[in-house]
Structure 1
Amino acid sequence: MRLALVTDAWAPQTNGVVRTLMRTRDELTSMGHAVEVISPDMFNGFPCPTYPEIKLAFLPGRKIARTMTAFQPDAIHIATEGPLGHAARGYCLAQGLPFTTAYHTRFPEYVEARFAVPVGLSYAWLRRFHSRARSIMVATQSIESDLLARGFGNIRRWSRGVDTTLFKPRDVKGDKGLLNLPRPIHLFVGRVAVEKNIEAFLSLDLPGSQVVIGDGPQLEQLKRKFPKAYFLGKKVGEDLARHYAAADVFVFPSLTDTFGLVILEALASGLPVAAFPVPGPRDILQGTDAGALDADLGAAVKRALAVPAARCRALAEQFSWKAATEQFLGNLAPFGVV
C-alpha cells in the first residue's frame, strides 16, 4: 500500500503524537508499505502562538495537491487538525477521495486552559473537521465514549505501543552520576506546558526529590516557582531510558491527555505510575495494580511506591507497536474500497 500521512506535528517537535507517527511510519515501512509523510518541514511557515517551536505551514494547499499527484497514494490519513490537515481534507473532498483522521490531542481542553475558549465551541469545530472522515482513530475507550457523547461518529480504535528493548528495568539506582538525589525520586517526563498540569505534581509535599525531564513554554516559570525541584531539560533515547529506570515512581498529573506514551515508557522501565483517574491513565492502569489512580494525587504517589517493578513491566509488555500498527492498517480507507 502507498499511504500519504499528513501531519502538522513532526520532527524536530518531541511529543507523543510525533513519536507515535514516526514509530507507525517505521513499522509500516518494515511491513513493505510505502509512506509519504507530508509535514511542516516541506512548507514555508510561521511559529504557532504560545508554541513558537511548532511551525505551522502557510497556504499549503497547492503543494499538498502536487505532492499527492506525484505520489499517487492508495490511502490518505490526516493525523492532525492544523493547516496541513485542513488543506489535505479540502483536497480529498475536492477529489472525492476517502480519508481517515485521528484524535490525538484533547485540543478543546488545551485551548480552554490557554485562552479561556469554551470547550463547546472547539468541539463544534472539531466535529465539522472529522465529520467527513471514513473513520476517526482514537487510542482508548474513554476517549471514544467521550467523543460519541459529543456527537462524533465512525470511531475506530488505534492503540499504542512501547519499545521494551530500550525502556527496561536497569540496575542504575546506585549510579552516582545518575539522579544522585535524595530518595524516593518522583519523576515527571513530558512537555513543560500548562496543559500538562505539572504544578499539581510540584505542589505536593513529598519526601525525597521531585524531578522534571522535558522542556516547553512553562519551564522558566516553574523553575522560579518551585526552586527545590530538579529540572533536567530534554532527554532522549538511552539517556532518557536510564533516567526512568533510576527513579522510584512516575507521576503523571495531566488531566487532558488522550493516552500518555510516557506512562508506557515508565512501566516498561519497571517504574510504577501515580495519576489522576482520567482518560489515558485510567485506560492503561485501572484494574492492573501496576500503579495508583486517585483524585488525591499525593495519595496515589504513596500507594504507587509500593508496586513491584515486575508488575509494571508485565503490563507494558502487553503494548506492542507492531500490534498497534496492524490495528492502524485495518482502519484505513483505501481508494476504491467502500
Structure 2
Amino acid sequence: MSAKLHVTLITETFPPEINGVANTLGRLCDGLRLRGHRVELVRPRQEEDQVRTADDDLLLCRGWPIPGYPGLQWGQSSMHKLLRRWTRQRPDVLYIATEGPLGLSALRAAKRLGITVISGFHTNFQQYTSQYGLGVLTRALTHYLRWFHNRSQMTVVPSVTQKQELGRRGFDRIELLSRGVDSQLFHPAKRSTELRECWGLKADDIAVLHVGRLAPEKNLGLLKTSFDALQASYPQLNLKMIVVGDGPQRAELEQRLPQAIFCGTQRGEALAMHYASADVFVFPSMTETFGNVVLEALASGLGVIAYDEAAAAQHIRHGHNGALAMPGDEEGFIDAARWVLEDSETLRRVRLNARQHASRQGWDAIIDVFERQLHSASQVGKVMPLGQVQL
C-alpha cells in the first residue's frame, strides 16, 4: 500500500459552483480522501460559507468577482497566511489548479518553503481574451501562464491535444491527467417521456441538445447555423433545439433561436434527465481544455457532434460513436450533424456505441493516475527543493 499524503489543493472555484473545473476538482478531492489521503483545501469564501470557519483541512480567503462570470471569484493573494500555515503543518505536495492571485501566492510560498508543486492547466484563458475583445493581452497572458506552470514540478493537462499545444508554446514537464464520467448518473435510463412532452416532442421526434456556459468563447453562433441547416435538410423531422445552461449570451441566443427551449442551469439528477431525454448533442466550442459535457453526453447515449479536439478527439471515433469536424470548419461541422441524422439506424447505432464507450471511462482510473503523479512529485520534493526547479 502506498504512503498516505498530505495534499493541499489551491483553487478559485470548487463545488457547489457549476463549471468543469469545479466538477473535476471535487472528484479528485473526494477520490483522494476515499483512499486515505489528507486533502487540505485553500479557496475563496463562497455564499454557502457565511457561517463557516476555517479548520485543519480548509482555509478560506477573500474573493473578488470576475467580470462576466457571475458566481466566480479571484482569490485574494494570501502568501503570509499560507507561509504561517504551512510552516506549522507542512504539506507533502501542492496542487495549484488556478493561476490567479491566490494560486500565485501559493506558488511563491511553496518556493520559499521548498514544497513541491504540481499545477493543473484547466482553462484556456489565453484563448478567451480574443473572444472578449482583449486580443492585445493574449501574448502577455500566454507568457505569464508559461512562466507560472514552468515553475512547478509538473503541469497536468486533460487532453492529448492540449499537451501538444502547450508543448509547442514552450511549456515544460507536461503530463496527461484525463477526466472521467459518472456513468451511473449520466445514463440513457434517465430518459423522461414527461420532459419530452413538455418540450413538445413525441417518441420519434428529435431533441438537439446543447449544455454549457452561454458565453462568447463557446462559439454559440454555430448552434443556430447548424440547427437551421438540419431543419432545411430534414423537413420531415420534428426537430427541437434544447439549451441547458446560463451566461452573458443567453438573451442574445434567445432572440436568435426563438423556437428553442432554454432550460437554464441544471444540476445532478435533473441535468442527467435533460441529457438522456435528448437525442443529439451539438458542441461547437473550440476553446476547451477538455469539455466534460462531451463525456456526459456520450454516457447519456447521445449522438455527439463536435470539433476534433480535447475530449471529442480523445473519446469520439468519427462514424462510430459520434461525428467530428476539423477545428474551425463550420461546413464540416454541419455535414457531421447531417450525417448523424441521415437515417434512424445510423443514429441508433451511434448512440449505442457512445454509451458503451463512456461506460468504461470511470473516475477510478483517473484518480489512480493522479495519485501516482502526486507520489512521484512528493518524492522529488524530498531530495530537491522547488527553488531549484527553475528556467
TM range (shorter): over 0.9
- In structure 2, what is the Cα distance between the partners aligned to 1:80 and 1:288? 36
Shift of 1:267: 0.7
Shift of 1:70: 4.6
Map of 2:334 onto structure 1? 298
By percentage of residues, which structure has more helix?
2
Runs of 4+ in 1 over 6 A off after TM superposition: none
Map of 1:120 onto structure 2? 139
- In structure 1, what is the Cα distance between the partners aligned to 2:86 and 2:340? 49
Map of 1:240 onto structure 2? 271
Count of matched residue pairs: 338
Give deviations 1:237-276, integer Å, cap 9, x for gaps. Answer: 1111111111010111100101111111111111121012
Shift of 1:202: 2.5
Shift of 1:68: 2.9
Greater Rg by CA: 2
**Contact kept? 2:281, 2:305, Cα under 8 Å:** yes
**What's the secondary structure of 1:55's corresponding residue?**
strand
**Contact kept? 1:10, 1:40, Cα under 8 Å:** no
Q: Is residue 318 from structure 1 mapped to residue 360 from structure 2 by the alignment?
A: yes
Map of 1:36 onto structure 2? 40
- In structure 2, what is the Cα distance between the partners aligned to 1:63 and 1:212? 43
Shift of 1:71: 4.1
Give deviations 1:163-201, integer Å, cap 9, x for gaps. Answer: 011111126353356653343111011111111112211
Map of 2:123 onto structure 1? 105
Shift of 1:221: 2.3
- In structure 2, what is the Cα distance between the partners aligned to 1:313 and 1:58? 42
- In structure 1, what is the Cα distance between the partners aligned to 2:195 and 2:180? 31
Shift of 1:120: 2.9
Percent sequence identity over aligned pairs: 36
Greater CA deviation, 65-74 or 180-189? 65-74
Describe the shift of the 1:67–1:234 C-alpha distance in structure 2 as closer, same or farther (beyond 3 A).
Answer: farther
- In structure 2, what is the Cα distance between the partners aligned to 1:124 and 1:176? 47
Map of 1:142 onto structure 2? 161
- Pick from 78, 100, 113 the counterpart of residue 82 of structure 1: 100
Letter in 1 for 2:316: L
Give deviations 1:281-323, integer Å, cap 9, x for gaps. Answer: 2222145721001232222222234342220111102312111
Letter in 2 for 1:8: E
- Pick from 5, 8, 14 the counterpart of residue 9 of structure 2: 5
Describe the shift of the 1:176–1:95 C-alpha distance in structure 2 as closer, same or farther (beyond 3 A).
Answer: closer
Letter in 2 for 1:285: I
- In structure 1, what is the Cα distance between the partners aligned to 2:153 and 2:215? 33
- In structure 2, what is the Cα distance between the partners aligned to 1:172 and 1:282? 26
**Contact kept? 1:267, 1:273, Cα under 8 Å:** yes
Describe the shift of the 1:171–1:29 C-alpha distance in structure 2 as closer, same or farther (beyond 3 A).
Answer: closer
Q: Is residue 131 from structure 1 mapped to residue 150 from structure 2 by the alignment?
A: yes
- In structure 2, what is the Cα distance between the partners aligned to 1:225 and 1:278? 27
Q: Is residue 198 from structure 1 mapped to residue 220 from structure 2 by the alignment?
A: yes
Give deviations 1:68-123, integer Å, cap 9, x for gaps. Answer: 34543111110111121111111111112210101111111011211332433321
Task: Calculate the TM-score normalised by the size of structure 2.
Answer: 0.82
- In structure 2, what is the Cα distance between the partners aligned to 1:11 and 1:274? 28
Letter in 2 for 1:300: A
- In structure 2, what is the Cα distance between the partners aligned to 1:49 and 1:70? 36
- Pick from 149, 169, 177 the counterpart of residue 188 of structure 2: 169
Q: CA RMSD in A?
A: 1.9
- In structure 2, what is the Cα distance between the partners aligned to 1:124 and 1:152? 10
- Pick from 209, 232, 236 the counterpart of residue 187 of structure 1: 209
Q: Is residue 331 from structure 1 mapped to residue 373 from structure 2 by the alignment?
A: yes
Greater CA deviation, 71-80 or 295-304? 295-304
Task: Calculate the TM-score normalised by the size of structure 1.
Answer: 0.94
- In structure 2, what is the Cα distance between the partners aligned to 1:330 and 1:317? 23
